[in-house]
Amino acid sequence: MRERNEEIGRRWYEEMWSKPDFNVADEIIDENYDPDWVSIDKVGPDQVKHEIKYFRSVFPDLKYEIIEIIGDEEKVWIRYKGTGTHKGNAWGFGPTGKTVEFEGATILYINAKGKIADRWGAFCFYDILTDLELTPPLWELSQKFKDTQI
């Protein structure tokens, strides 16, 4: 199970997100996949395909590198580095043409059928906005509020 789940995790980032190969979504994602924290009106493989299409419209050359991967009987933990060039509109900002690099972690929960049933993930969105020079670095941001009374 451990090796199977690690292979699913590799396919999630290396094939499905980085190439992208949407057929992989149909192979590895359960039809009822619908994480509570994702606000997309689709479920199963279609939800993830929608996410990938959106992020690749913003970062068309988006690539993920797996830094660390550890599987067990029911899940796989993945620590990754992502890179991409900001060429699309998103979050109220036009394309900057700048390249971003960010790190994150994902846990994929695998059901008995060997399909991804749920996901938890985290990355620092603030770092992306800083790399794009759309917001100041945190150490500079604090100076802007130095004299602010609350």
What is the reported pTM? 0.87
- What pLDDT sits at residue 104? 96
Q: Is residue 107 within 8 Å of 42, Cβ to Cβ? A: no
CA atoms within 13 A on the CB side of 136: 8
The reported pLDDT for the residue numbered 100 is: 94
Residue listed under structure tokens 């998103």:
90
- Which pLDDT score, from 0 to 100, does residue 136 have? 81
pLDDT at position 36 is 81
Q: Residue 148: what pLDDT?
A: 61
d(CA 135, CA 125): 11
Return the pLDDT at 3: 95
pLDDT (tens place) for every residue of the chain, 150 residues total = 999 999 999 999 999 999 999 999 999 999 999 888 777 888 899 999 999 999 999 999 999 999 999 999 999 999 999 999 999 998 889 999 999 999 999 999 999 999 999 999 998 888 888 889 888 877 777 776 766 655
Q: What's residue 40's pLDDT?
A: 82
Say how many residues make up the chain: 150
Q: What 3-state class would DSSP assign to 97?
A: coil
Q: Which residues contact 136 (CB under 8 A, 6 or more apart)?
A: 130, 144
- Return the CATH architecture of domain 2-144: Roll (3.10)
- Residue 107: the pLDDT is 98
